[in-house]
Amino acid sequence: MITRFRARTLAAGVAVIGLAAGLLPATAGPAAQPASPSVEGAADAFPIGIFSPPNPAATTLANYQRIRDMNANFVITGNLVASFATVDAALSLAEQTGLSMFVSDRSIDFTPSQFGSAATGSSYAISTTSAPGQTFATPASEGAMILDYIELPINPATWTSGQTLTLTVYSGPDKAQQVATSSLSAPAASGGTRFDFDLFIASGTTFYFEVTSTSASPVSTAAGPGTAYPAGTAYLNGVVQSADLGFTVGAERRSWNDGGRPSDTVIQNVVQHYAGRNAVRGYHLVDEPSAQQFSQVDVATEAIRANDPAKPVYVNLNPNYANNALLGMEFAHNTGEFVRSTNRLGQVFTTGRATSHIDTIQWWIDRATWGAGEALTLTLWDSPARTTAVASATLSSQPATNWPGFALNATVTPGTSYYLELTHNGGGNDSVGWVTRSLAGKKWYGVETGAYVNGAPVGADFWFTVNQSIEPFSYDDYVYRWASTEPDVLVFDHYPFPPSGTTVNAGYFSNLEVIRDQSRAAAVDFWSYLQSVGITGMLRAPSQNDMRYQVYTNLAYRAKGLIYFTYWKPPFAEFFQSLVNTDGTPNPSYGWAQQLNAEVLALGGVLQRLDADAVYHTGTSLPAGTTALPASFDWQPTDATKPAVISHLADATGKEYVFVVNRDNTTGRTVTFDIDATIVNVEEISKSTGLPVGAGFDAVNHTLAVTLAPGEGRLFVVTK
């Protein structure tokens, strides 16, 4: 349950992984275990979902019951379950099995396009001795695109039964690298032959396709004059020709690329189609957007809220190991302004729903240009009209960094628009800059922001933060920018298990630290993806200990929802040991997830009420970005060298809880704690009932021994 949803939602579409068909045998896999009741009495008090469901051919009642039997309660559509027909079929099964769905629709995420060459009557023959080909260029874009099909104008009178035509796409005419291939054996019925692909290819790139036949009898395909397709060249048996082939490429480009977004009409059609379905839990808009796309993603979000305002939506963020290009935090999209006594710089922004006080505002200013005698003042106004000044702060000397903070110390109204203005005192050379902003049309924040120069909007955003101290274009900045749009839920993925050994990514906990901090600052819950699949050369298949480690470390950091990646195995050789195979049979990890999910559901009624106000670590070597357990904390391990995560949580009434997790995914251990004398009792929240049970607390000596399997966590309630 998410408690801070605004009345808004949107539609979505990623889901381009095509999974092989498979049916789940009724007798396969471990016996189903019913979800344990929570202390709240609701079996689904904690959101547990799966990504990559059965594909359309495997969308059966048995397969959806298997998802439910794993103690999951929602499904994210995908795996070619991404159209009205395929999603509707899945929703019907979800309704029958008690599952809900975050729906996505391919038309939201991808915009169809066509390009090619018109045929004019001349032709090329296709046979065992004649292989025509053509280079073509995909449209320039900021990302990959999907190649749906290539269609050729074939003369049906020349294509007899039994002849197979194969169209192969290569990286170039030298055929050094094969990209994809598609074959057709049936004669063309209407003068057009469509070779289907459905795969990602690079945008702004030249490719080459060649058509071959299994028969010596020639099949005729139409061609055009040499100028029919100026972006490519025709070939015959590898030799350049003067007349281009006639062809049509059907492709889809990401709706979000090049500053674009799905149209309001597309959004309305999609959301209104799904809005009345009982099993629709919400909408999944886009997977791993860059920061440069946040503005248009937020605009699309607002457009959809008008159609289904009651349901949540999520956007899944990149992990901290994504490079700056994927994060969109590269310097390609920034410029700047000089602040002078004659050049005032401003920024409109809206306070967060939980922001009642502004301590500091950071701006990105080149300190090297800040000379003696120069002072900059940041004033918080009620609006660009500057009717009422709320607060101001002045920096009268060169700051220590290029992103100084102005201490405004202002009381503000949550959810209200304000105007920041930066002015120069006229001293020194009367010029400090750059003050960094985005390029015009490349906004960095949401729809409720905007940069001004001398009172005029410039269609951009100055870099700024509210009540933060972060480095520009860092991962922290990336998450902050999206969190500042106040999403319904903050979702991210971090797959922490390298391809071999038992180690965990060095940045795993620093990623959790950023997500937890930014979600708390924005007063929004966060959900985490869990790695449940191996990818050759990239990720190992998680062990039972690994999966337990992910679940409990995320819970200790305040995660309010978990999503398994992946449930159904993608039909690619590099993916292996997902929760369920492409034939529907479960792997052992299915049973591990089933048991872990039962435990989470039992704890969920309590966990959903709690906020982790502090997370600490013990051990001889602390993970990067984490905080050591302070000596003042009420629970002190007798052996602080043992690696653990210890978080302090509380509910709205102030009742205190402590979460203890074994930060070792290979070795179980018992950790003994000396408990502060102010604590009169410690009970554990049962993983089977969700109710407080005896924890073995020694009230005389104020000690507690906690035995933990590798990666295991236990939740305790404290009485003072």
**Sequence-ordered list of residues with C-beta below 8 angstroms from that of 340, at least 6 positions apart, any chain:** 424, 430, 431, 432
Residue 443: the pLDDT is 82
Q: Name the least confident of 17-21, 148-152, 371-375.
A: 17-21
Residue 4: the pLDDT is 25
The tens digit of pLDDT for each residue in 111-155 reads: 888 999 988 778 999 999 999 999 999 988 767 789 999 999 998
Residue 16: the pLDDT is 26
The pLDDT of residue 311 is above 50: yes
Residue 332: the pLDDT is 59
Residue 188: the pLDDT is 63
Highest mean pLDDT range out of 20-24, 262-266, 289-293? Answer: 262-266
Q: Name the least confident of 60-69, 194-203, 465-474, 711-720.
A: 194-203
Residue 499: the pLDDT is 95
Residues 558 and 553: their CA atoms lie apart, in Å, by 9
* CATH architecture for segment(s) 611-719: Sandwich (2.60)
Q: For residue 192, how many other CB atoms are within 10 A of its CB?
A: 12
What average pLDDT does this structure show over 408-419?
Answer: 96
Burial of 62 (0-12, 13-18, 19+ CB in 10 A): middle
The pLDDT of residue 466 is above 70: yes
Residue 115: the pLDDT is 93
Cα distance from N-terminal residue to C-terminal residue, the chain: 29
Residue 157: the pLDDT is 86
The tens digit of pLDDT for each residue in 206-219 reads: 999 999 999 999 99
% of residues, the chain, pLDDT over 70 = 92
Confidence of residue 12 (pLDDT cuts 50, 70, 90): very low
- Do domains 119-245 and 331-469 share one topology? The answer is yes
Residues 530 and 607: their CA atoms lie apart, in Å, by 18
Question: Would you say 123 and 132 are in contact if contact means Cβ atoms under 8 Å apart?
Answer: no
Residues 137 and 144: their CA atoms lie apart, in Å, by 13
Kindly report the backbone phi and psi dihedral angles of residue 152, in degrees, each rounded to the nearest multiple of 5, phi listed first.
-115, 140
Residue 330: the pLDDT is 65
The pLDDT of residue 310 is above 50: yes
Q: For residue 581, how many other CB atoms are within 10 A of its CB?
A: 18
Residue 331: the pLDDT is 55
Residue 34: the pLDDT is 34
Residues 366 and 338: their CA atoms lie apart, in Å, by 10
Q: For 519-562, give the secondary structure using H, E and C.
A: HHHCCCCEEEEEECCEECCCECCCCHHHHHHHHHHHHHCCCCEE
Confidence of residue 185 (pLDDT cuts 50, 70, 90): confident
The pLDDT of residue 391 is above 60: yes
Closest CA to 626 of 611, 610, 646: 646
Confidence of residue 18 (pLDDT cuts 50, 70, 90): very low
The pLDDT of residue 41 is above 70: no
**Sequence-ordered list of residues with C-beta below 8 angstroms from that of 395, at least 6 positions apart, any chain:** 375, 376, 377, 404, 406
The tens digit of pLDDT for each residue in 395-407 reads: 999 999 999 999 9
What average pLDDT does this structure show over 459-476?
Answer: 94
What average pLDDT does this structure show over 484-489?
Answer: 92
Question: Would you say 19 and 81 are in contact if contact means Cβ atoms under 8 Å apart?
Answer: no
Confidence of residue 607 (pLDDT cuts 50, 70, 90): very high
Token pair listed for 617: 């670590």
The tens digit of pLDDT for each residue in 515-574 reads: 999 999 999 999 999 999 999 999 999 999 999 999 999 999 999 999 999 999 987 789
Confidence of residue 447 (pLDDT cuts 50, 70, 90): confident
The pLDDT of residue 9 is above 50: no
DSSP state, 157? G
Q: For residue 515, how many other CB atoms are within 10 A of its CB?
A: 28
The tens digit of pLDDT for each residue in 80-97 reads: 899 999 999 999 999 999
Residue 21: the pLDDT is 23
Q: What integer best gives the mean pLDDT of the chain? A: 90
CATH code for residues 119-245: 2.60.120
Closest CA to 545 of 611, 497, 481, 494: 497
Highest mean pLDDT range out of 33-47, 152-166, 242-256, 677-691? Answer: 677-691
CATH class of the domain whose range is 331-469: mainly beta
Residue 329: the pLDDT is 73
Residues 489 and 435: their CA atoms lie apart, in Å, by 32
Peptide bond between residue 566 and the one before it cis (omega within 30 degrees of 0): yes
Q: Name the least confident of 223-232, 412-421, 468-477.
A: 223-232
Break the chain into its structural domains and give their ranges.
48-108+258-325+485-607, 119-245, 331-469, 611-719
Query: The domain 48-108+258-325+485-607 is classified under which CATH number: 3.40.50.720, 3.20.20.80, 3.30.930.10, 3.40.50.2300?
Result: 3.20.20.80
Residue 260: the pLDDT is 87
Residue 141: the pLDDT is 75
Confidence of residue 304 (pLDDT cuts 50, 70, 90): confident
Residue 306: the pLDDT is 87
Q: Name the least confident of 136-150, 263-277, 281-295, 498-512.
A: 136-150
Residue 36: the pLDDT is 32
Q: Name the least confident of 112-116, 165-169, 220-224.
A: 220-224
